[in-house]
Amino acid sequence: MLQETYKPNYIAVEGVIGVGKTSFSGMLAERLSAELLNEEVFENPFLVDFYRNRKRYAFQCQLFFLLSRFQQQQQLMVRDLFAQRIVADYLFAKDAVFASINLSERELALYDRIAPILSRDIPRPDLAIYLQASTPVLMQRIRKRNFTFEKPIDPDYVDMLNKAYDYYFFNYSETPLLVVKTDDIDFVNNAVHFDDLIEQIGKPIAGKKYYVPVGDLALQ
């Protein structure tokens, strides 16, 4: 459990597609008896088309996610974040990572006029968690979960996204940040691995902390 003296009320979990952030967010919310705020991925009507033709549908897909996340964050602002714990499976500020990769120069220029206006009053989490994994591991997890709309995803795109995420969070300083390397652990199916992460989250973090668990060998 989290230490009694350290209870972040608003935790945002991030990571590249396939890393397991949605699964981890759900498990974390349940463990902490917190409300879960899920990104509306499957509600995006442009997502399937995007993975089939990223260049053509990137802007529509990006704009839907931006507005959807904004509406969710607006709802958070009318709540008492100090009275209710919340775990979100995304960080609003990270939206710009996808935009920088997928949008054309003209589309990005328009996006850069819209996004700052929407993000002006967005609440910041007390703690951000970045689940990190190598591109081969991400591809393995993507194939394993076998979502139909993800079948066209190619390793080059995931690798490009992975490098962009790493760069973003290497330079991230808006909130306390816990970076967890997940290549050698399975927090979904191994309770010991999950409990180990909960223990790390329960330790106060000032600035940025990197945690590299080494799986079962370190936990025996």
Give the H or E element holding residue 211.
strand 208-211
Taking the C-alpha atoms of residue 36 and residue 29, their distance in angstroms, rounded to an integer, is: 6
Q: Assign residue 18 a region: left if phi > 0, alpha if psi is -120 to 50, beta otherwise?
A: left
Q: Tell me if residue 195 is catalytic.
A: no
The active-site residue, picked from 49, 80, 89, 184, is 89
8-state DSSP, 86 = E
Taking the C-alpha atoms of residue 61 and residue 65, their distance in angstroms, rounded to an integer, is: 6
Taking the C-alpha atoms of residue 176 and residue 182, their distance in angstroms, rounded to an integer, is: 19
Report the candidate in 15, 10, 12, 11 with the shortest Cα–Cα distance to residue 161.
15
Residues serving a catalytic function are 89
